[in-house]
Structure 1
Amino acid sequence: MRGYYKKWFWPLALPGLILFAAVVLVPFLIGLLYSFTAWRGTYFVGGSVWTSFVGLDNYARIFQSWQFVHALVYTLKFTAIAVVVVSVSALLLALMLDFAGKRVGAFRTVFFLPNLLGGLALGFVWQFIFQNVFTLLFGENGLNLPFLTNMTQDTTKNLFALVIMVTWQMAGYMMIIFVAGLNNIPRDLYEAGALDGAGGWKRFRYITLPMLMPSVTIVLFLTLAGCLKLLDQNVALTNGSFNTSMLSLQILRTVRYTQPPDYGQAQAQAVVFFVLVAIIGLAQVYITKKKEVDA
């Protein structure tokens, strides 16, 4: 078999590598080059890519932009809260399914269904819920909880509105990953723990959680990447109004609200965005990988 794989590796892998290079690698390198130029989308200031070279000016300008810095901080705040809420919710749902018995399949389907909704459709549905249903239920004529009313019309309230919406969408998908991890834990370990006098919390802390770390690594990575790159839901919910733009939306707004459209600056923002996601994602994977144990 080793000889077979060695013989056919490149013929089989080459089409995928060519496609990756054409769709991902080459556009990324071109975008990286454009981030150092005065690119206006349809032309370069000065006539060519080389004469429009501005060095690090685009990068200096984006960190002097209040809108970009606010979007960066807002995105990091949202991601920090959402990752914890989504991961904990998904884990709780997975643990609850252990007691679902024959109904586990139905519960899995119900919890997973929100993940199938598109970002824009999901955002518009939740915009109606936050603006109408929540305001009616939690307004002065209801439970009188002002924080839960008009949630899309305030910077802080919208942060938690996004967390609620993303948790509803993503928790079911992450739950499936946790369920797979729980199913791979040998039951003998729980029996041994029970014989040693370990209660439910100790079995969870010293058996379930360490053995579940490979699933935790995957869930945290997917949740981090999804939250950092959030766009459609942000557009549908507020479209950046009330200082609620996240990084993806801020990049779009840069080319819309600069005349002529400053694609060079937007591309510099995209490069910073990529570096940020890569650093956070790789650091998270490195840290959680070190805590994994073998079954």
Structure 2
Amino acid sequence: MDVPLPWERLLWSGRPLRPLRRLVGERYMLTDFRLVSIARNGTSELALSDVGEVQRTESAVDRLLGTSTLTIHARRRAIAPLVLTAIRSGAQLAALIELLGGDPRASLDHEAVRAALSWDPRQRASGAPEALASILVVVLAVFAVAIGLHGTATPIAHAPDDAIAPNGMKRSRAEIIRFMERDVMPWARETLGRIKGGPDRVTCETCHGRDGQARDWRMPAVAALPLPDVKERGWEIYSGSMDSQMRNAIYGYVADSEKQTKAAYMREIVVPGMARLLHRPAYDFTNTYDFNRSHDAIGCYHCHRVK
């Protein structure tokens, strides 16, 4: 199989960091049209327009080697998942695949993609010129991944029945407090109580933190997520201005392997439930970044901090 074809652009290629898989010639390629896995015993491919959910896992060996495995599920159940085993820069690559799957027509800058996939803050130099260069790389990468892909961002438009800001007009403090007490707290005690040890353990502080009132109940305020990708090898070291929507796009699928069960509950029960209460959509990786941002979609990082 020829990859890329004359009308395709190769965005990334890699090989599994596993001896046996390398012996059979296994390698992976991402173009602006499809994702391909090639080996001597056969080839698998998945068009970007068919990309559904992207799952990322790490074994103990992966953590030691700095690799991870991506499982890319198709939107159609008849298509088998495509697996990229033991690859480097897995978190960054997964984010790109998610975003490209949401908008396969996106125009990418190859150098920005290369920088986004290759940058590792653990390898940054100590000198001022090198540090400045690293900052520029991160700014360029984040811009290309989350904004540059889709052009000028569409303004946020809240629905007429939005619980907090109908038609974009924020309700009064008293109205919001009544909504939280009447609608949110009963739901939170039942839903979060299942993972907090009982409904009596769920209070305003569960989501807003002990200093919630002093912070005027601003979100995000819940414990930092995810670990270790953000603090140890992620994008946050030089990107203090990254907003919740961008974090949802880049980190939304990340969870430590031992926390996958809780992460699945949060993703499948808590996030959609909170979105329904607010009359907003839950963050949807099958839609574009611009769509999620313009609809103020609810994701993990509207509640969870990263630092």
> Quick check: which one's strand share is greater?
2
> Into which bin does the TM-score normalised by the smaller protein fall?
under 0.3
Larger Rg: 1
Q: TM-score, normalised by structure 1?
A: 0.25
Q: TM-score, normalised by structure 2?
A: 0.24
> Quick check: which one's helix share is greater?
1
